């Protein structure tokens, strides 16, 4: 009986629908590659080989770290369109300091983190102290970061050669054919830490409270303005970490290094079950969403699909995944309402009194 209840709870989990979509994509790509591309030769199937899995995880690490901060912002009812161009600004700025200004690596890291947090706090201050839409404010900051990037670089890349390689080019060899990059370990560690914070701390409850109903959160004693400010500051920290990972991996501060990242990140967060209206979402859903989009991109490359068609197919798959997540949410809500209606009157009364 207990095992049956556990299975039912597992199947009704909020991340189950997106997990099933991920599983379906993996199986479908494997079968298509096996029978269409490799003529039934299992040994040639590249999609599930350990080295390819390692590469996919490495490729999604930057998006995943950005998505952690974006999840906090979106669960609280906000959004940030500036993170991609902020990466460009921070990445080129840090490369400029390291190569042209003689900064040491620790000094460069400290400067980059401080700049990211301060800029995000400034944007968060405007959003939290006014009734301006986060969409519009972050769009303005996105344009500012674009201008600052080109002022630093004049449109050219800034290489840092073999410096600052530790974060992006360090690997843990688990088997002869499978290795985990340090960015992947960092992504997993940050995801676990922030999941625990959101699930088991007062800070996490406040994130959901502010996103669910700002007025109710204020009446409950939460300083909504300062809390939003704090969340944007944290988002700046995650943007700085992701930028350092990408800069360390590539060894190049490029004016385009983060271009379009905000779309991938927001898509992954929404696909992972976070509501655009706020108040709903979790980090493991976001992680699965990031992994899903990474698998799709990698699979389309392996299958030799034209880059132009890839945009269309990825967009369609995102819409399907979001639709399935939405339908799952409706089903969960209807089940919850039905369960409450079936409760005995005394239980209802006691639960209302307790609340």
Nearest Cα to 120, choosing from 237, 291, 259, 246? 237
Whether this prediction's pTM lies above 0.95 is answered by: no
Q: How far apart are CA 238 and CA 232, in angstroms?
A: 10
Element (H, E) at 172: strand 171-175
Nearest Cα to 29, choosing from 350, 307, 337, 292? 292
Query: Quick one: pLDDT at residue 329?
Result: 60
Place of tokens 């340090």: 182
The string of pLDDT tens digits covering residues 208-223 is 999 999 999 999 999 9
Query: Quick one: pLDDT at residue 332?
Result: 56
The string of pLDDT tens digits covering residues 133-191 is 999 999 999 999 999 999 999 989 999 988 899 998 899 998 888 999 999 999 999 99
Instruction: Show the CA angle centred on residue 257, arms to residues 256 and 262, nearest 5°.
Output: 90
The string of pLDDT tens digits covering residues 303-348 is 888 888 878 877 776 677 667 656 766 665 565 555 555 555 444 4
Q: Is the pLDDT of residue 53 over 70?
A: yes
Architecture of domain 25-332: Orthogonal Bundle (1.10)
Token duo for residue 231: 């969340």
Mean pLDDT for all residues in the chain: 87
Query: Cβ neighbours of residue 45 under 8 Å, at least 6 residues apart?
Result: 30, 33, 34, 38
Q: How many Cβ atoms sit within 10 Å of the Cβ of residue 202?
A: 10
First-residue to last-residue Cα distance in the chain:
30
φ/ψ (deg, to 5) at 260: 85, -5
Domain ranges for the chain: 25-332
Element (H, E) at 21: helix 16-32
The string of pLDDT tens digits covering residues 290-307 is 999 999 889 988 888 888
Q: Concatenate the DSSP letters of all residues of 287-352 into one string.
A: HHHHHHHHHHHHHHHHTT--HHHHHHHHHHHHHHHHHHHHHHHHHHHHHHHHHHHTS-HHHHHHHH
Q: Are 223 and 45 in contact (CB under 8 A)?
A: no
């Amino acid at each position: 009986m207990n095992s049956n209840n556990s299975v039912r709870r597992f199947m009704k989990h909020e991340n189950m629908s997106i997990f099933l979509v991920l599983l379906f994509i993996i199986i479908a790509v494997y079968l298509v590659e096996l029978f269409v591309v490799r003529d039934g030769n299992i040994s040639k199937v590249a999609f599930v080989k350990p080295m390819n899995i390692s590469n996919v995880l490495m490729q999604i690490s930057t998006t995943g770290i950005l998505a952690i901060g974006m999840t906090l912002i979106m669960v609280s009812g906000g959004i940030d369109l500036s993170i991609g161009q902020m990466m460009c600004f921070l990445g080129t700025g840090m490369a400029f300091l390291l190569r042209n200004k003689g900064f040491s690596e620790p000094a460069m890291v400290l400067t980059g983190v401080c700049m990211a947090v301060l800029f995000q706090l400034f944007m968060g201050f405007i959003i939290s102290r006014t009734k301006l839409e986060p969409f519009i404010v972050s769009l303005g900051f996105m344009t500012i970061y674009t201008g600052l990037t080109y002022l630093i670089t004049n449109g050219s890349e800034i290489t840092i050669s073999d410096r600052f390689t530790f974060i992006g080019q360090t690997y843990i060899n688990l088997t002869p054919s499978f290795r985990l990059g340090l960015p992947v370990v960092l992504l997993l560690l940050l995801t676990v830490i922030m999941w625990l914070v959101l699930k088991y701390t007062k800070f996490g409850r406040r994130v959901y409270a502010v996103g669910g109903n700002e007025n109710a959160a204020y009446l409950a004693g939460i300083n909504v303005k300062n809390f939003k400010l704090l969340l944007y500051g944290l988002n700046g920290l995650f943007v700085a970490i992701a930028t350092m990972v990408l800069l360390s991996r590539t060894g190049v501060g490029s004016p385009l290094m983060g271009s379009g990242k905000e779309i991938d990140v927001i898509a992954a967060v929404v696909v992972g079950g976070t509501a655009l209206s706020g108040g709903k979402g979790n980090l493991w859903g976001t992680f699965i969403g990031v992994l899903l989009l990474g698998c799709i991109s990698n699979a389309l490359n392996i299958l030799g699909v034209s880059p132009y068609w890839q945009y269309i197919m990825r967009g369609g798959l995102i819409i399907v995944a979001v639709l399935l997540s939405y339908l799952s949410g409706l089903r969960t809500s209807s089940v919850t309402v039905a369960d409450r209606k079936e409760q005995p009157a005394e239980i209802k009364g006691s639960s209302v009194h307790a609340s």
